[in-house]
Structure 1
Amino acid sequence: MKKTDLIAPEQYNIVSEIEQYAEQADKKALIYHDDEGHQTTVTYSELIAGANQYGHVFKAHGLKKGDKLLILMPRSIETYYLYIAALKLGVIVIPGSEMLRTKDLQYRIQHGEVTAVASVDVGADQFERVDGIDHVTKFIIGQPRDNWIDLTGEAQDQSTELETIQTHRDDVAFLPYTSGTTGNPKAVIHTHGWGYAHLQMAPKHWLCIEEDDLVWATAAPGWQKWVWSPFLSIMGTGATAFIYNGRFNAETYLKLLQDNHINVLCCTPTEYRIMSKLENLTDYDLSHLHSAVSAGEPLNREVIDQFRDNFNLSVRDGYGQTESTLLIGFLKETALRPGAMGKAIPGSETCVVDDDGNPVPPNTVGNIAVPLDLPALFHGYYKDPERTKAPQRGDYYITGDQAYMDEDGYFWFDGRKDDIIISSGYTIGPFEVEDSLIKHPDVKECAVVASPHELRGNIVKAFIIPQDGVARDDTTVKKLQNYVKQDVAPYKYPRAIEFVDDLPKTNSGKIRRVELRDLEQRRYDEQHRS
């Protein structure tokens, strides 16, 4: 595949890739399974009809092309309605998780110049203390609420036909926020044309989705990975999305895979790790599964071996970023090489370059990079030209990760140049956690780093210098953990806290997180050698 094959038609709306399947009356789009065992099936024609009704409500309340809609939804049928409705109208979607707290919402609404929000009822409380929320149009899904528009209720009486607004391939479609090592989260600009390029790469070459496959991608809405797989990759290829909105349990996951005859699975390394620990794997029949992939962090050799030995299935690794799409991975035809990241996805032109943007020889550690003109690359960070320019070297965009490429084209991960923490598939910026902790009256100084963990890949760990007189005990640990859960988000809290007397710093006073990361890695290695 050539890079030019990734360029969308000039006038292009990503919803056209989904809407084409609505012409087949009984073609299944979604199968929703709740934690009580109830299932609901939605066809493509029903999906588009429901989205069109939502779109009419948006129009009636003034939403138009170029407006920004912040969406806070769980795994649900309505989430698909919302995304499709907004994109059909040319409205820019800002994905959000129902786990976001007031602070996160405040920043996104102000920085993203949000016109409207659409939230599941259980997430609406977090908006009460947001400054300026009275100037934002608020739609609620679920239990009606004062001063919110009952989106589901109003949609019932709307037409099921809705014209798609004409959009250019360079018009913005998504504005996801991603954590940075310093400063506030960055808003990544993705266009309708990016969606087209993504569809030419990830679902075809890595996920290996075939039309009419039943595909379970476990990522939750609010993250770009949900836009990648559960939404675009499945809906854009005419497959059926399996949705499970329940807590993770290894036995439950395997039973759902077996009983529903799932064909393609995409989940986090943590989920695979926990499933692989079960002693009764041979009790489950996964013979319908022809493709299993994982992304977010490297897979353990043990996990790969367990799935191969018990299910005759190769779990294939993949690598990409919020700023791009899948860039490196193991395709079905790529021979597995344990420990490697895989090869460059066709069309991505991913390579390894030095700090000046020059390609390096094989087996030389450098920066994982892609050409700046790759159609599947973001169009910059919203309202942030300096951070947009920072990762550019010559003709390349530098991902921030380092690796080397061997003579056969396999990439081998070496580490991150920055301090981003990837835990259970979540990308977490240490600055956000440190900023929260330092506000607590018991904390004098702190540093947050990734600490290796057998199941989660890494966990968030905080090294804390407490204020004088503060007890260095479990009570204080729990108090600080609960504080971060409420102030930032539950998935970002430090699962480990160590009280220290000082922190390693540079001569200019900057904390040297690298020393703390190395310390945690040494401790982990020593523990697992004994």
Structure 2
Amino acid sequence: MANAAKAHDPGSQDLGSYDNRAGTAHVDPFAQAHLPPRELWPDFIFTRPELQYPARLNCVSYFLDRWVEQGHGDAPCVISPSVSYTYKELQQLVNRIANVLVGKLGLVTGGRVLLRSANNPMMVAAYLAIIKAGGIVVATMPLLRAKELSYPIQKAEISLALCDGKLAEEMEKARLAAPGLKHVVYWGTDAADSLENLAADASPEFTAVDTASDDICLIAFTSGTTGDPKGTMHFHRDMLAVCDGYARNILRAKQDDRFIGSAPLAFTFGFGGVLFPMHIGASFVVLENTTPDNFLAAIEQYKTTVCFTAPTAYRAILGKLAGRDISSLRKCVSAGETLPKPTYDAWLKATGIKLMDGIGSTELLHIFISATEDEIRPGATGKPVPGYEAKIVDDNGNDVPPGTMGKLAVRGPTGCRYLADERQRKYVQNGWNVTGDTYVMDSDGYFWYQSRSDDMIVSAGYNIAGTDVEAALMTHPAVVECGVVAAPDEARGMIVKAYVIPAPGVTADTKLVTELQEHVKREIAPYKYPRAIEFVTQLPKTETGKLKRFALRQMAQTAAG
């Protein structure tokens, strides 16, 4: 087995320049070849002692194998209503799946594997197995439809997928749309070639591939603000960097903590709920059904102590606390959308716990601005996580003084590297990651969220591109033209609102609203559907005929009062 004890030695070689001097372990060169040109990368900062990593590193050795080697194998690791695993049991399952991937499914190092499932222990095991075997995970949201699935399959040239059998219908449709996908292996079925049956015959021993710390292990696709989703490429050392930055210095959890989160593991925010506990040998709960009632019941049943979810979920839970015992909770993290001060105040009053706000991005993997409980200023996101730097810039990239609204720019040990995408030039400017968020920094260095700088709609923690919804609506014959923006909503923060010009002779009534909503749910992921639809005779346009989204947003704001 790889020597995990050396995987995180603060005295080891500083790879701040990351020129892959140790040489990649990838036989399949696709991912390395499609990194952006080095001059378009952001600046990376590795000045803190805990952010020094060795040249060779397989992150799964650190997150999983070392705990077994150190005698922690019998401790609980992943917990769910269906099955739970200790660290040693999870290691054996991961090893079996890795052996299946390499020995039976032909995975070579650097090969991409699509992973599709709701949050469950098999999803966790498959995720870790792909990385341990030197492969690259491309995890996808369970709600995505075939059209949305086929894009990353083709963009990342994926030939192999592992998928929960419950999601087979859309997976098979995607397979037809993306013929490069040669092999799909399902779990949760009784088939002889199911992942469980294949793994049962495989060895529980597997030595982690000796990857370079800057070998790619994850391609996480964004939700797509404008145009197609962007594939964000992350290294083995990035997995440790978010733990040694945010989790170590801000969250400060302990080995006896038990984590729970509602975000899908396909979101990097959700995957942090796996990495952070495994970084310290703690345990975590995964739930396929994360309705407020289910989530509350799990907190109560499993006595979870650290909670990760979006402000919308905290607001929903607040209304259901009567008769519930969630006294086990001691830390609650809020991210995915801005945390309103009233939600912070109400949660504090009801539970005595200060919600720890934070902002991260798929491009930087996880949270880069937050605050410890004793440094929270309600309403502010916080300060840069130790290891990161942040500032506010104007449209030309110039620094602006405190109190001035502008664009958020960040740099640190993680950063944006898009998969073969010209939009790299927009996100990375002068060595800084420009996130697409508008902020104000006060004179004390606290960052206060204002809005998104782009057309992203952030609703209940989900990132939704208005253009996706527009494209889906336009496939309905009753729609001549439409514009989609975010509209304020008390329960969800923001909702998707569509302004629709109906076709001549079509009756624009509540029946048509429902019909269009159901149509969108069939076309794209159901969570993206417009919760409000307003019929109009014209849309605001520029002189060149482009939709004026800012004007639509103003209309939505005014209508909401």
TM-score interval, normalised by the smaller of the two chains = over 0.9
Indicate if the aligned counterparts of 2:157 and 2:180 stay in contact, CA closer than 8 A.
no
Residue 256 of structure 1: CA displacement? 3.1
Other-structure match for 2:443: 407
Match 1:117 to one of 161, 178, 189: 161
Distance (whole Å) between structure 1 residues aligned to residue 435 and residue 178 of structure 2: 35
Q: Does 1:82 align with 2:126?
A: yes
Residue 286 of structure 1: CA displacement? 3.3
Other-structure match for 2:414: 376
Residue 337 of structure 1: CA displacement? 2.0
| 1:188 aligned counterpart, secondary structure | strand
| 1:505 aligned counterpart, secondary structure | coil
Match 1:267 to one of 306, 309, 328: 309
| 1:79 aligned counterpart, secondary structure | helix
Indicate if the aligned counterparts of 2:387 and 2:413 stay in contact, CA closer than 8 A.
no
Distance 1:361 1:3, change over 3 A: farther
Match 1:366 to one of 402, 406, 411: 406
Residue 247 of structure 1: CA displacement? 4.3
Match 1:355 to one of 395, 416, 419: 395
Indicate if the aligned counterparts of 1:261 and 1:288 stay in contact, CA closer than 8 A.
yes
Distance (whole Å) between structure 2 residues aligned to residue 497 and residue 441 of structure 1: 16
Q: Does 1:330 align with 2:371?
A: yes
Other-structure match for 1:68: 112
Q: Which amino acid aligns with 2:248?
A: K
Residue 134 of structure 1: CA displacement? 6.9
Match 2:489 to one of 453, 459, 482: 453
Other-structure match for 1:346: 386
Indicate if the aligned counterparts of 1:53 and 1:156 stay in contact, CA closer than 8 A.
yes
Residue 523 of structure 1: CA displacement? 2.4
**Equivalent residue runs for 1:32-51 within 5 Å:** 32-33=80-81, 40-51=83-94
Q: Does 1:517 align with 2:553?
A: yes
Residue 175 of structure 1: CA displacement? 0.8
Q: Does 1:13 align with 2:58?
A: yes
Indicate if the aligned counterparts of 2:358 and 2:381 stay in contact, CA closer than 8 A.
yes
Moved more, 7-16 or 127-136: 127-136
Distance 1:51 1:449, change over 3 A: same
Distance 1:128 1:290, change over 3 A: closer
Distance (whole Å) between structure 2 residues aligned to residue 309 and residue 406 of structure 1: 27
Distance (whole Å) between structure 2 residues aligned to residue 94 and residue 392 of structure 1: 23
Q: Does 1:254 align with 2:296?
A: yes
Indicate if the aligned counterparts of 1:366 and 1:404 stay in contact, CA closer than 8 A.
yes
Deviations 1:322-348 (A, max 9, x none): 1112111121231x3222111111111
Distance (whole Å) between structure 1 residues aligned to residue 541 and residue 52 of structure 2: 47
Indicate if the aligned counterparts of 2:337 and 2:461 stay in contact, CA closer than 8 A.
yes
Q: Which amino acid aligns with 1:17?
A: Y
| 2:125 aligned counterpart, secondary structure | helix
**Equivalent residue runs for 1:104-253 within 5 Å:** 104-129=148-173, 130-133=176-179, 135-144=181-190, 149-227=193-271, 229-250=272-293, 252-253=294-295
**Percent of matched pairs sharing the same residue:** 35
Distance (whole Å) between structure 2 residues aligned to residue 219 and residue 135 of structure 1: 27
Give the paired residue count: 509
Q: Which amino acid aligns with 1:267?
A: T
**Equivalent residue runs for 1:380-395 within 5 Å:** 380-384=417-421, 386-395=422-431
Match 1:474 to one of 481, 506, 510: 510
Distance (whole Å) between structure 2 residues aligned to residue 134 and residue 503 of structure 1: 40
Distance (whole Å) between structure 2 residues aligned to residue 12 and residue 61 of structure 1: 24
Indicate if the aligned counterparts of 1:29 and 1:238 stay in contact, CA closer than 8 A.
yes
Other-structure match for 1:95: 139
Residue 429 of structure 1: CA displacement? 0.9
Residue 482 of structure 1: CA displacement? 1.2
Deviations 1:253-287 (A, max 9, x none): 33432342211111111110112234x54x44433
Residue 210 of structure 1: CA displacement? 1.1
Using the size of structure 1 for normalisation, the TM-score is 0.92
Deviations 1:366-410 (A, max 9, x none): 111113xx32113x21111x2001123323221111111111111
Which consecutive residues of structure 1, in runs of 5 or more, have no partner in the other structure? 35-39
Indicate if the aligned counterparts of 1:10 and 1:169 stay in contact, CA closer than 8 A.
yes
The root-mean-square deviation of aligned C-alpha atoms, in Å, is 1.8
Moved more, 209-218 or 417-426: 209-218
| 1:98 aligned counterpart, secondary structure | coil
Residue 301 of structure 1: CA displacement? 2.2
Indicate if the aligned counterparts of 1:353 and 1:360 stay in contact, CA closer than 8 A.
yes
Distance (whole Å) between structure 2 residues aligned to residue 122 and residue 302 of structure 1: 39
Deviations 1:208-267 (A, max 9, x none): 32112111122122222222x2221222221101122324134x4334323422111111
